[in-house]
C-alpha cells in the first residue's frame, strides 16, 4: 500500500477485467499491468464499471486485487490502487469494507446506491457510515444516469468534511453542478471527471484530472493534456484534444467496455475481447471502425 500523499489527481485508469472462457484471464491481466507500468498513469481502479465489477463474485475480486497488487509491487513506479464498490445496502457495503480491510489496496471508489433512489439525507448517512467503517480514503462516485440518484453539491460538500472522503469521480453530466462544485470545494477535496468526452472541458474548468476508460489507449496523449492546459498553452491543448475526443467517442459508441476490449484485443494487450452478459460484443460496423482507427494510429506512429 502507498501512504496517502494528498488528494487524487492526474490520470487514473479504471482497468478492464480481461476474461477468457468465462474466467479472469490472469495472463492478459499481467500483460496489461506490465504495459501500463510504463505509462504515465497516476492511479488504478479495479472492479469498477469499466472493470465489469458487478459481474465479479467475491473470489474473483480478491483474485483481481492480489494479482494486480503483486504486479504493482514489482514495478519501479509506485501507484495507488483503489477498489470499486457499489450497492444499495449500506450494511453489505460496510461488510465489504471489513472483508477487504487487510487487502493490499490504498482506497475505494464507491458509487451512490442504485435503484433505491434515497434522499440526500439518506446519501449523507450512507456514505458517512461507510467512511466511518474504514481508515482508507474514499472517492465518491456520482453517476446519476446509472444509479437514478444525484449527489447534489451541498451533500458532496458535507461529505467532503469527513477526513476519509478525499474526492469524487464526477459523472453528474450537469455542467452547472460541476462548475459549482469546483468553485465551492476546498483544495484538499479532489474532483476528477469520469466523462471521457468531457475531459477537456472539465480540465479547462479546473478539475484535478480524470478517471478515463478511453485512456487505456493513447495513454501518454491523454496524460499530456492536463500539463498542457496548466501551462497556459490553449492552442496546443485544443489540438491535442481534437484527436483524443474522436477516440473517446468511438470507444463509447456502444456500451463500455466492449469497444475498448475489442481495441485492446486487436492490439495484443488482451487475448480475448470477451465481456460478460448482459454486455455483448460490439457489432461488425463498429469493429471495422475501431480497426481502421488502430491502423491509422499505427501509421501515424
The residues carrying an active-site annotation are: 141, 169
Instruction: Give burial (CB, 10 Å; 0-12/13-18/19+) of 22.
Output: exposed
Structural contact between residues 224 and 178, judged by C-beta atoms closer than 8 angstroms: no
- Three-state DSSP class for residue 267: coil
Alpha helices in 185-283 (DSSP H): 199-204, 219-230, 234-251, 258-266
* CA–CA dist 120, 118 (Å, integer): 7
What cell does 82 get? 483503489
CA–CA gap between residue 132 and residue 259 (Å, rounded) = 38
What's the CA gap between 23 and 15, in Å, rounded?
16
Task: Quote the DSSP letter at residue 283.
Answer: P
Distance from C-alpha of 49 to C-alpha of 42, rounded to nearest angstrom: 19
Amino acid at each position: 500500500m502507498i501512504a496517502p500523499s494528498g488528494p487524487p489527481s492526474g490520470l487514473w485508469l479504471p482497468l478492464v477485467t480481461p476474461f477468457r472462457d468465462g474466467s479472469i484471464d490472469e495472463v492478459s491481466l499481467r500483460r496489461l499491468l506490465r504495459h501500463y507500468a510504463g505509462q504515465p498513469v497516476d492511479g488504478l481502479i479495479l472492479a469498477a464499471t469499466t472493470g465489469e465489477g458487478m459481474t465479479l463474485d467475491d473470489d474473483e475480486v480478491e483474485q483481481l486485487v492480489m494479482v494486480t497488487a503483486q504486479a504493482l509491487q514489482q514495478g519501479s513506479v509506485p501507484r495507488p490502487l483503489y477498489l470499486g464498490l457499489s450497492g444499495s445496502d449500506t450494511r453489505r457495503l460496510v461488510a465489504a469494507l471489513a472483508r477487504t480491510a487487510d487487502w493490499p489496496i490504498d482506497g475505494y471508489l464507491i458509487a451512490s446506491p442504485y435503484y433505491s433512489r434515497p434522499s440526500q439525507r439518506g446519501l449523507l448517512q450512507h456514505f458517512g457510515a461507510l467512511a466511518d467503517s474504514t481508515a482508507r480514503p474514499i472517492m465518491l462516485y456520482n453517476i446519476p444516469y446509472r444509479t437514478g440518484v444525484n449527489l447534489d453539491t451541498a451533500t458532496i460538500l458535507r461529505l467532503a468534511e469527513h477526513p476519509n472522503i478525499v474526492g469524487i469521480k464526477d459523472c453528474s453530466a450537469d455542467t452547472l453542478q460541476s462548475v459549482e462544485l469546483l468553485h465551492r470545494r476546498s483544495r484538499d477535496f479532489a474532483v476528477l471527471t469520469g466523462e471521457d468526452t468531457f475531459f477537456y472541458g472539465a480540465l479547462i474548468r479546473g478539475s484535478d484530472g480524470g478517471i478515463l476508460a478511453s485512456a487505456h489507449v493513447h495513454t501518454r496523449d491523454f496524460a499530456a493534456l492536463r500539463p498542457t492546459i496548466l501551462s497556459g498553452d490553449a492552442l496546443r491543448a485544443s489540438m491535442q484534444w481534437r484527436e483524443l475526443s474522436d477516440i473517446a467517442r468511438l470507444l463509447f459508441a456502444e456500451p463500455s467496455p466492449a469497444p475498448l476490449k475489442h481495441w485492446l484485443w486487436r492490439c495484443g494487450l488482451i487475448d480475448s475481447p470477451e465481456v460478460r452478459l448482459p454486455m455483448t460484443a460490439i457489432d461488425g460496423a463498429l469493429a471495422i471502425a475501431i480497426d481502421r482507427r488502430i491502423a491509422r494510429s499505427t501509421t501515424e506512429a
